[in-house]
């Protein structure tokens, strides 16, 4: 997949991403490697694009009024499309992924939600995309300690990110937050050795 001149290249979880907007706080890379995923951050639409059309998804109109976090699918001739939708009754964030996880489109209801959209993209959207591409993911924060990668696991609110931040304040590097992508090499998974830790618990 080629990259357009007006796009920016990022590397996450072993993937080369082409994104049409700069992501706040993240560093772009110069890479001649092929692009794995093209991400189109479109934002607010004056007209309804076909990817958001009700007929494309074949869902009842009342579903659009349901608040919360939802995952919809649309089975088309070229495969299954995925729609991740967050709606609080006023504002809406939506991401659509194509069947092989090579294209992502992002929409949101007003410009002020761009930062929220980026947060959703870097969390569950990329997590879902990695699963489409066959990568096993853990809901975890990951910290580098003495040449090993420590994955901090726990239920929501258990303190995974807080624990990682505490370790970062002591000079350890945070490798990932929210998603730990397990990509095996000849020696198995991980950075060197993956140690599983439960937040607010003991190292296993």
The CATH number assigned to the domain holding 173 equals: 3.40.50.300
> Which of 134, 156, 178 is the C-terminal boundary of a domain?
134
Q: Is 125 found in the same domain as 38?
A: yes
- What lies within 8 Å, CB to CB, of 1 at 6+ separation is 18, 34, 35, 36, 38, 102
The residue to which tokens 């890479």 are assigned? 31
Q: Is 143 found in the same domain as 119?
A: no
CA 139 to chain CA centroid, nearest Å: 11
Q: Is 168 found in the same domain as 108?
A: no
- Total domains in the chain come to 2
CA distances from 204 to 148, 165, 197, 198 (A): 14, 20, 6, 8
Rounded distance between C-alpha atoms, residue 91 and residue 182, angstroms = 34
Q: Is 168 found in the same domain as 88?
A: no
Residue 14 falls inside a structural domain? yes
Q: Is 107 found in the same domain as 180?
A: no
Q: Is 182 found in the same domain as 98?
A: no
> Which of 134, 152, 167 is the C-terminal boundary of a domain?
134
Reading the chain (204 residues) residue by residue, the pLDDT tens digits are 444 457 999 998 888 999 999 998 888 998 788 999 999 999 987 666 788 888 899 889 999 999 999 999 999 999 999 999 999 999 999 999 999 999 999 999 999 999 999 999 988 899 899 988 888 888 888 888 887 788 888 777 778 888 888 989 999 898 877 778 777 766 666 544 455 555 555 443
Domain membership of residue 71 as a residue range: 8-134
Q: Is 108 found in the same domain as 36?
A: yes
Residue 203 falls inside a structural domain? no
């Amino acid at each position: 997949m080629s990259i357009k001149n007006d796009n920016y290249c990022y590397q996450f979880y072993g993937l080369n991403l082409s994104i049409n907007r700069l992501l706040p706080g993240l560093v772009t890379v110069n890479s001649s490697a092929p692009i794995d995923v093209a991400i189109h951050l479109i934002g607010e639409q004056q007209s309804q694009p076909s990817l958001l059309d009700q007929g494309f998804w074949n869902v009842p109109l009342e579903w659009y009024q349901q608040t919360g976090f939802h995952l919809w699918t649309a089975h088309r001739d070229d495969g299954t499309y995925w729609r991740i939708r967050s709606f609080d009754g006023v504002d809406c964030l939506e991401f659509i992924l194509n069947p092989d996880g090579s294209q992502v489109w992002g929409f949101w209801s007003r410009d002020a939600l761009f930062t929220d959209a980026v947060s959703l993209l870097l969390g569950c959207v990329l997590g879902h995309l990695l699963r489409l591409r066959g990568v096993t993911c853990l809901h975890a924060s990951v910290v580098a300690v003495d040449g090993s990668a420590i994955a901090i696991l726990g239920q929501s609110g258990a303190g995974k990110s807080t624990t990682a931040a505490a370790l970062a304040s002591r000079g350890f590097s945070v490798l990932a937050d929210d998603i730990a992508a397990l990509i095996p090499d000849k020696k198995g998974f991980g950075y060197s050795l993956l140690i599983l830790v439960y937040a607010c618990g003991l190292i296993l």
